[in-house]
């Protein structure tokens, strides 16, 4: 909690905090500027950005009972700082066909492992999963890892092992297709809320 307070002080110091009772005395343009600066400061701070909605309106909505504090109010774990791509980095398309009777369960597990990997593994840069429009059982995942070691660490992680062991019976086929970026200067920034 103390860390979060310190983070908030990167936006402003206690002598410049506006209270609700002060709003009526602040010119609209000045108040708009304060709000814009607050949004920019939150967006620019990787530790605060996952809490943006909570900071801007979520706490007040819950406080005044305008929104159930248990729905959509869970605070996401912040995404870890990512490492730069190394010479032996991996760009991969994983093509997966899921048995139809397991599709919903598979989607839940795949979404969970992707989000956890992005939030907790500095060597996992991208986990972007899509389903074919005509056949949702065909899943393609764009995965990027900073290095071979990052990939090995990823597949040894408890969250990946839980996913792998839990979905073995759901997967009809799996094809791992390593790719070469056409433009090595192009970067994908994959953030998770």
- Mean pLDDT (the chain) is 80
Q: Is residue 80 part of a domain?
A: no
Task: From 63, 78, 111, give the residue that closes a domain.
Answer: 63
Q: How many residues are listed for the chain in this entry?
A: 193
Residues 115 and 164 grouped into a single domain: yes
Contact 96, 141 (CB under 8 A): yes
Residues 17 and 96 grouped into a single domain: no
Residues 98 and 58 grouped into a single domain: no
Task: Report whether pLDDT(64) > 90.
Answer: no
Task: From 15, 48, 63, give the residue that closes a domain.
Answer: 63
Q: Where are the beta strands (DSSP E) in the chain?
A: 90-98, 124-131, 138-145, 171-178
Q: Is residue 6 part of a domain?
A: yes
Determine the structural domain holding residue 21 and report its residue range: 2-63
Q: Is residue 79 part of a domain?
A: no
What CATH number corresponds to the domain at position 151? Answer: 3.30.70.100
Count of domains observed in the chain: 2
What pLDDT band is residue 1 in, cutting at 50, 70 and 90?
A: very low
Q: Is residue 193 part of a domain?
A: no
Looking at the whole model, is its pTM more than 0.85? no
Residues 57 and 133 grouped into a single domain: no
From 39-43, 80-84, 92-96, the region with the lowest mean pLDDT:
39-43
Residues 94 and 37 grouped into a single domain: no
Residues 100 and 146 grouped into a single domain: yes
Q: Is residue 122 part of a domain?
A: yes
Q: Is residue 174 part of a domain?
A: yes
Instruction: Map residue 95 onto helix, strand or coil.
Output: strand
Report the share of the chain in percent with pLDDT over 70.
73
pLDDT at position 40 is 84
Give DSSP secondary structure letters for 35-67: HHHHHHHHHH-TTTGGGHHIIIIIHHHHHTTSS
Residues 94 and 173 grouped into a single domain: yes
Distance CA 12, CA 18 (A): 10
């Amino acid at each position: 909690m103390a860390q979060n307070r310190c983070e908030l002080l990167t936006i402003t110091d206690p002598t410049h905090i506006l209270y609700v009772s002060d709003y009526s005395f602040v010119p609209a343009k000045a108040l708009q500027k304060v709000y814009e600066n607050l949004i920019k400061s939150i967006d620019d701070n990787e530790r605060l950005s996952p809490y943006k909605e909570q900071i801007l309106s979520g706490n007040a909505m819950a406080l005044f009972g305008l929104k159930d504090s248990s729905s959509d109010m869970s605070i996401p774990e912040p995404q870890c700082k990512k490492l730069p791509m190394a010479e032996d980095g991996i760009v991969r398309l994983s093509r997966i066909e899921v048995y139809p009777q397991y599709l919903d369960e598979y989607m839940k597990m795949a979404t969970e492992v992707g989000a956890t990997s992005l939030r907790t593994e500095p060597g996992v840069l991208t986990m972007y999963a899509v389903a074919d429009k005509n056949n949702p059982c065909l899943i393609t995942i764009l995965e990027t890892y900073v290095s071979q070691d990052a990939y090995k660490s990823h597949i040894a992680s408890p969250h990946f092992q839980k996913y792998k062991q839990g979905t073995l019976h759901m997967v009809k086929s799996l094809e791992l297709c390593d790719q070469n970026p056409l433009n090595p200067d192009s970067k994908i920034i994959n953030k998770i809320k």
